[in-house]
Structure 1
Amino acid sequence: MSEIGKLKTVMLKRPNVEVENFTPDMMERLLFDDIPYLPIAQQEHDNFAETLRQNGTEVLYLEQLSAEALDDGGEEVKLNFLEQMLAESGYVAGVTHDALKEYLLSLDTQAMVNKIMGGVRKNELDFVPADLVSAAEEDDYPFFMDPMPNLYFTRDPAASIGDGLSINHMTFAARQRESLFMETIIKYHHRFANKGLNVWRDRN
């Protein structure tokens, strides 16, 4: 990929449920000034992607590559990815961690990736946290795992540099989970793994 030469391949993230899943109260924390209208955002995205294809650019999708990489890596890679994602979402252990893990592993890989990107609402899990005081205090907040609407800014979590790339440590907490997808793709997707691609800087 190049910013000055002919663009051969580009990775995009199609706006999806993560855009609809965040509320005005979450906008500042998730670094948005406004909430996009999903049907229009998808239409504009699809027009953009089709324009790229018509000009000879291969269009890849972050959500598809992520799921394929997890399947390529096998069950252990999938479990490690999920544990890391849960930890970076604030759940290292405990009943909420266990309930989220069980729920997400009950989905097929693509659905699991889509759900993590889109956010996991509290009403999707049929359990009551053991810490009832904390549960009561946070009852108004609708999510166990926040949506990631910034994912469609795919230029931010990684940058192509020569024959390698930098996987970036994101400054803001709301975006730090994003680069885990790119790390997983580069390590395990059959298109990139063991192909001599240099990672000049990892996400840590």
Structure 2
Amino acid sequence: MDTVRVNNEVGRLKRVLVHRPGPETRRFPHGEFALAFPLRPTSSDFDLARAQDEHDALTAILRAEGAEVVELTELVGETLAFAPEAKDELLDRFLANCRIEGSELTEAATRYMSEAADAEQFVTRLFNGIRYGDTDLDASDRFPLAALTDSAFDPDTFLSSPLNTAFFTRDPLSVIGGGISLNHMYWHDRNREVDLLQTVAEHHPCFADTPQWFGHDSSFHLEGGDIVNLSGHAVAIGLSSRTESLAIDRLSQGLLWGDGSSVTDVYVIEVPQSGNRLHLDAYLSPIDGDTFVVDPLLAREPRVYRLRRARRRGGVRIEPCSEGLARILGAATRGGPVRLIDFGDGGGPMAFEYGNGAAGILPLAPGNLCVCAENLAANEALVDAGMTVHPVSIQEMTVGFGGPNSLCLPLVREDL
């Protein structure tokens, strides 16, 4: 089996990357949770046991449908065990993204990490964060005047905050065809999740020679929720509040001209911004070979651009698409007419369901879908359309920020 290959979003799911929420979700200081969750302002509001039960139910569905489930922490641990020399490289990048300033703080954090007994404990410490109290910075013999005047470090304050949103595995890395995009996240703290995956991509033996279409060192923001594989030759990218046009330019150049890429057409779709829905995959989801779920906000007046190779090597030619979304998607998939399903105009119960991941669907195979259990009207509409649904409750993990697709990074899918 290929290590990575995703030419579409609906072929049978063969391998998927996930992260089960762990103690890192309960370790934020002074009550904060994360900027990514304005609807959940404090860590005490996060029920870890419930979130783990939700995640276990999700992965049980994945396994029952034949997918190999890969845990992020185990994959990073395997990488460091195979290539111990990668540990220092990862730590340097990771601490730089923590914005630790100065030699004393950097050295203290490095000493603490170097004392980890093995790769597993090293990864656990990265996920759980580094408090001042974990280091020797508050030792009275190191800074005696600070200790005497009670102006030393607060032992509960973090030098490196926990990775408490790492269970959203779709965003930091994207698989496009037989290559990957190491994304540049909107929230700076989440770039440390990309650091982990960059280490895997560069040092795990299974990822050797995997092409990279976009580099994490880019100056511009790009997130995986805005990338939707339409076919082996076409990909849709959302122009959203989390993905910049400049990043799409760079990614498109990599896809259209990169060695090993089969992509000939990049469709850039401007993403409406409504409530918690931030990415293209919250408005558009392929669910069968010729069927898409589409939010009426996107379908009503879509603004779409088609990017193809220009004559000059490395250049990109841009054409506005004036057709309706169905014709655009039909051309992208080269499969003839496509069917668009929506769940109504967003009034009544759908006002909740659209904002609760109704379009954030995870296909397990064509027409075989993992969906949010709470979206009763949307799920009924899918069944009426001939789909098989596997409802799962993920409310504790997502708080409405996405559906099951946000919690899973497909690594391998069958071609259609």
Larger Rg: 2
Aligned counterpart, 1:103: 112
Q: Does 1:8 align with 2:21?
A: no
Aligned counterpart, 2:39: 33
Aligned counterpart, 2:193: 178
Q: Deviations over 1:21-59 (max 9, x none)?
A: 125742353545224211111111112112111110000
Gaps of 5+ in 2: 1-5, 218-416
TM-score, normalized by length of structure 1? 0.87
Cα gap change, 1:126 to 1:140, in 2 (>3 Å):
closer
Alpha carbons 1:120, 1:144 under 8 Å: kept: yes
Q: Deviations over 1:91-147 (max 9, x none)?
A: 3651221121111111111111111112112222233375959x9486386211101
Matched residue count: 200
Deviates most, 177-186 or 16-25 = 16-25
User: Which of 74, 77, 99 is the equivalent residue of 1:90?
Assistant: 99
Aligned counterpart, 2:122: 112
For 1:13, the aligned partner's letter is H
Cα RMSD, aligned residues only: 2.4
**Distance (whole Å) between structure 2 residues aligned to residue 24 and residue 31 of structure 1:** 16
The 5 A counterparts of 1:1-204 are 1=6, 2-23=8-29, 25-34=31-40, 35-75=45-85, 77-91=86-100, 93-107=102-116, 108-128=118-138, 132=146, 136=151, 139=154, 142-194=157-209, 197-204=210-217
Alpha carbons 1:27, 1:33 under 8 Å: kept: no
Alpha carbons 2:131, 2:160 under 8 Å: kept: yes
**Distance (whole Å) between structure 1 residues aligned to residue 106 and residue 146 of structure 2:** 16
**Distance (whole Å) between structure 2 residues aligned to residue 173 and residue 138 of structure 1:** 24
For 2:88, the aligned partner's letter is L
TM-score, normalized by length of structure 2? 0.45
Alpha carbons 1:30, 1:174 under 8 Å: kept: no
Alpha carbons 2:131, 2:156 under 8 Å: kept: no
**Distance (whole Å) between structure 2 residues aligned to residue 9 and residue 184 of structure 1:** 19
Gaps of 5+ in 1: none
Q: Deviations over 1:138-193 (max 9, x none)?
A: 63862111011111000000111011111100111121211111111111112212
Cα gap change, 1:127 to 1:137, in 2 (>3 Å):
closer
**Distance (whole Å) between structure 2 residues aligned to residue 59 and residue 95 of structure 1:** 40
Alpha carbons 1:14, 1:152 under 8 Å: kept: yes
Answer 1 or 2: higher relative contact order, Cα 8 Å, separation at least 6: 1
Q: Per the alignment, in what secondary structure is the counterpart of residue 176 of structure 1?
A: helix
Q: Per the alignment, in what secondary structure is the counterpart of residue 186 of structure 1?
A: helix
**Distance (whole Å) between structure 1 residues aligned to residue 188 and residue 73 of structure 2:** 21
Alpha carbons 2:19, 2:169 under 8 Å: kept: yes
Cα gap change, 1:140 to 1:120, in 2 (>3 Å):
closer
Identical amino acids, percent of aligned pairs:
29
Greater strand content:
2
Cα gap change, 1:39 to 1:184, in 2 (>3 Å):
same
